[in-house]
Amino acid sequence: MAPPLLLMLTLSALFLSPTVRSQSPLTTAYYRKTCPQFEQIVQDTTINKQIASPTTAGAALRLFFHDCFVRGCDASVLVTSTRFNKAERDADINLSLPGDGFDVVVRAKTALELTCPGVVSCADILAVATRNLVVMMGGPYYTVKLGRKDSLASRAADVEGNLPRPTMSMDQIIEIFKSKGFSEEEMVALSGAHTIGFSHCTEFSSILYNYSKTSESDPAYYSEFAKSLRSACADYQKNPTLSVFNDVMTPNKFDNMYYSNVQKGLGLLSSDHGLSLDPRTRGFVELYAKDQKAFFGAFARAMEKLSEYGIKTGKAGEIRRRCDAFND
């Protein structure tokens, strides 16, 4: 069920063991002979899903971040828990991941298994579907190389500390990105993913209500915006699914409006406010707010780098028959 106002969610941080990018084993031609219809099938699936459920793009983008930040881009976040194993998707920070992100991958996998069974990984599907959906929303095209294998493990215990939370300080968030090999500039560019999608009121309620003795909300909010958010999120304790668009100005368009918003106090999360206030990141926010081309270029480069983070190849992974379970 689509949330009320919509907004994406946290932009978290990053991953686990680093991978050498200069000699990537991935290639754009990976499925050319084994599954030549791969690109078309994923494209058709993403178009149909986005038309049917307009929140899919933001959902898939967030799901991709949460997958790659923990254990690398290996579809480990898609695995369902069993009575023997609590998987990543059941870690508390992942419980609010929207179902549309999972669904678009499952639909593409089902279609691909009918055409070329046992060939295409769920990790590659998620990476390409995310790129396609970004482009559908008006964002930049970027190259996604292929050949990832799906993970052989998924543990909720691996999640904590690898995904930035919106309540973290900028020092903490920058450190998470830096520990994974991402610069402040790349962090700010990836944060631009908040131009689409939605965030749950529970994620920013601590800076919206009873902020201090002198201020009901964080003064970093534009006062009228804070007032409207308090109204929209009034029942968040009774209804934890209440959500708001990440970008309240152009929520259905992938553009640079997010950066203008955070400069004006129209960001939702504490981490959004931090980007425009911290001297290490403020300059990039200012640049991307006035130059969409610069943002698109930086976002595309950062996404290409992210998509190859911590990938599994060879015997380090498998091609799952279904994306939510390991092969027997």
Is 202 a known ligand-binding residue? Answer: no
- Taking the C-alpha atoms of residue 221 and residue 218, their distance in angstroms, rounded to an integer, is 6
Which 3 state secondary structure label does DSSP give 217?
coil
Is 36 a known ligand-binding residue? Answer: no
- Taking the C-alpha atoms of residue 212 and residue 209, their distance in angstroms, rounded to an integer, is 9
CA distances to 75, 85, 108 from 322, in Å = 11, 17, 11
Is residue 9 within 8 Å of 198, Cβ to Cβ?
A: yes
Is residue 324 within 8 Å of 76, Cβ to Cβ?
A: no
For residue 285, which of 297, 296, 300, 295 has the smallest C-alpha distance? 295
Is 164 a known ligand-binding residue? Answer: yes
Residue 305, token pair as written in the block: 């780098």
Is 96 a known ligand-binding residue? Answer: no
Is 307 a known ligand-binding residue? Answer: no
Is 92 a known ligand-binding residue? Answer: no
State yes or no: is 273 an active-site residue: no
Is 244 a known ligand-binding residue? Answer: no
Which 3 state secondary structure label does DSSP give 73?
coil
Is 106 a known ligand-binding residue? Answer: no
CA 228 remoteness from chain centre: 26
245 has which bridge partners? Answer: 198
Is 247 a known ligand-binding residue? Answer: yes
Structure letter (DSSP) for residue 199: E
Residue 252, token pair as written in the block: 């259905």
Is 76 a known ligand-binding residue? Answer: yes
Q: Which of 11, 49, 61, 66 is catalytic?
A: 66
For residue 318, which of 144, 107, 122, 78 has the smallest C-alpha distance? 122
Binding residues: 67, 70, 72, 74, 76, 88, 164, 194-195, 247, 250, 255
Active site members = 66
Write out the binding residues for substrate.
164
- Residue ranges for the binding site for Ca(2+)? 67, 70, 72, 74, 76, 88, 195, 247, 250, 255
Annotated binding site for heme b: 194
